[in-house]
């Protein structure tokens, strides 16, 4: 009888332990929170190891890719004296604005909770909402240069995100951050700048050639006049043995009016709203 009485507490303890083990995945899935985006969407974030800088929760990378990217992140973070992070997720909930506000809020809170440095930036690849967001604080605070860098990055990796080239996307992010506000890289010509320079050089050369030709007599308009005597009442003009050339001057076309030829390079799907934490802002977002 006593054995049965002593056995009951043991069974209850085992049952409680089993129940706690069953609940651990749920607790881990929820993690910290709840957090609420500006449009009312509620979400939780996983509790993470703050010594890491790459969190591939969506399992988009192989082990070797994750290791290589982590080494690059650490190297660039050390060089920039900042904290550069990457996060992939399948668990960010959808919201009524196609995921923009919630994903940005998620990026903000995740970095605010887990980053250590005041100068920090994170790339969030939200696979549930098909959205890519760059968020920055400190030296990566949202100004024109950071916004332009973000937009160029979104345009650069759009096709790769669509085609599933996730390693390339992460690698390009590290490259863009590495070159951000780096004078040495700013002096290196990009393929686009080389093309523009070549086109401008050709146009200038063609302009010089056209200007040179315009100062030379045109064969089509050379009219030889040879006369020995030209008389007019009260005046005498003599052309003795001379060839006089006349040239029709080109008529200058009046300037053409009309609208400007500019175009906008903005990303319409981006968010870009300022955050609730001091010194932080989103660099917008790009859908894929």
pLDDT tens for 254-281 read 443 433 332 223 333 333 333 344 445 5
The sign one gets for the Cα dihedral 108, 113, 115, 117 is positive
Cα–Cα nearest to 282, from 104, 162, 149, 124? 104
Domain check: are 125 and 140 in the same one? Answer: yes
Domain check: are 96 and 6 in the same one? Answer: no
Average pLDDT over residues 147-175: 94
Q: What is the pLDDT of residue 200?
A: 67
Domain check: are 138 and 220 in the same one? Answer: yes
- Domain range holding 20? 1-30
Domain contains 269: no
Domain contains 250: no
Which CATH number belongs to the domain containing residue 41 in this structure? 3.10.310.50
Domain contains 115: yes
The residues, any chain, with a CB within 8 Å of residue 31's CB and separated by 6 or more, are 44, 45, 46, 47, 48
The residues, any chain, with a CB within 8 Å of residue 66's CB and separated by 6 or more, are 54, 56
* 22 vs 84, more confident: 84
State how far the Cα of 61 lies from the Cα of 170, in Å rounded to an integer. 10
Cα–Cα nearest to 161, from 173, 149, 145, 176? 173
Domain check: are 25 and 39 in the same one? Answer: no
Domain check: are 61 and 141 in the same one? Answer: yes
Domain check: are 88 and 49 in the same one? Answer: yes
Task: Give SS3 for 250.
Answer: coil
Domain contains 55: yes
Domain contains 263: no
Domain check: are 5 and 100 in the same one? Answer: no
* 48 vs 122, more confident: 122
- Classify strands 42-45 and 54-56 as parallel, antiparallel or unpaired: unpaired
Domain check: are 17 and 98 in the same one? Answer: no
Domain check: are 12 and 130 in the same one? Answer: no
State how far the Cα of 88 lies from the Cα of 122, in Å rounded to an integer. 10
The residues, any chain, with a CB within 8 Å of residue 178's CB and separated by 6 or more, are 76, 79, 80, 185
State how far the Cα of 173 lies from the Cα of 85, in Å rounded to an integer. 10
- Classify strands 120-126 and 83-89 as parallel, antiparallel or unpaired: parallel
Q: What is the pLDDT of residue 227?
A: 38
Task: Give SS3 for 179.
Answer: helix
The residues, any chain, with a CB within 8 Å of residue 50's CB and separated by 6 or more, are 114, 116
State how far the Cα of 161 lies from the Cα of 125, in Å rounded to an integer. 9
Yes or no: say if 112 and 132 are a contact pair by the CB < 8 Å rule. no
Domain check: are 57 and 5 in the same one? Answer: no
Domain check: are 7 and 87 in the same one? Answer: no
CB neighbour class for 70 (10 Å; exposed up to 12, middle 13-18, buried from 19): middle
Q: What is the pLDDT of residue 233?
A: 39
Q: What is the pLDDT of residue 245?
A: 30
Domain contains 216: yes
Domain contains 247: no
State how far the Cα of 107 lies from the Cα of 150, in Å rounded to an integer. 15
**Count of domains observed in the chain:** 2
pLDDT tens for 23-82 read 444 444 456 778 888 888 888 888 778 889 999 999 999 999 999 999 999 999 999 999
For residue 8, is the peptide bond before it cis, meaning its omega torsion is within 30 degrees of 0? Answer: no
Domain contains 259: no
Q: What is the pLDDT of residue 216?
A: 58
pLDDT tens for 159-172 read 999 999 999 999 99
pTM above 0.85?
Answer: no
Domain check: are 14 and 49 in the same one? Answer: no
The sign one gets for the Cα dihedral 96, 142, 146, 173 is negative
Tokens, residue 76: 């660039």
């Amino acid at each position: 009888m006593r054995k049965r009485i002593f056995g009951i507490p043991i069974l209850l303890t085992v049952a409680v332990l089993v129940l706690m083990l069953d609940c651990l995945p749920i607790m881990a899935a929820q993690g910290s929170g709840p957090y609420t985006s500006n449009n009312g969407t509620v979400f939780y974030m996983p509790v993470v190891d703050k010594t890491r800088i790459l969190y591939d929760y969506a399992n988009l990378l192989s082990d070797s890719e994750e290791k290589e990217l982590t080494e690059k992140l650490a190297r660039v973070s050390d060089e920039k004296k900042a904290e550069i992070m990457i996060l992939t997720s399948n668990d960010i909930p959808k919201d009524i604005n196609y995921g923009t506000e919630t994903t940005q809020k998620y990026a903000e809170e995740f970095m605010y909770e887990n980053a250590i440095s005041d100068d920090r930036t994170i790339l969030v690849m939200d696979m549930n909402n098909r959205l890519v967001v760059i968020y920055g604080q400190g030296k990566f605070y949202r100004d024109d240069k950071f916004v332009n860098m973000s937009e160029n990055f979104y345009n650069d990796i759009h096709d790769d995100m669509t085609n599933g080239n996730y390693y390339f996307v992460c690698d390009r992010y590290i490259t863009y951050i590495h070159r951000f506000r780096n004078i040495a890289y700013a002096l290196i010509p990009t393929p686009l700048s080389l093309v523009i320079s070549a086109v401008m050089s050709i146009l200038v050369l063609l302009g010089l050639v056209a200007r040179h030709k315009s100062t030379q007599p045109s064969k089509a308009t050379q009219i030889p006049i040879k006369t020995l005597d030209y008389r007019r009442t009260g005046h005498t003009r003599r052309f003795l043995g001379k060839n006089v050339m006349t040239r029709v001057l080109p008529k200058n076309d009046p300037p053409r009016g009309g609208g400007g030829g500019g175009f906008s390079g903005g990303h319409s799907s981006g968010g870009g709203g300022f955050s609730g934490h001091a010194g932080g802002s989103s660099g917008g977002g790009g859908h894929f």
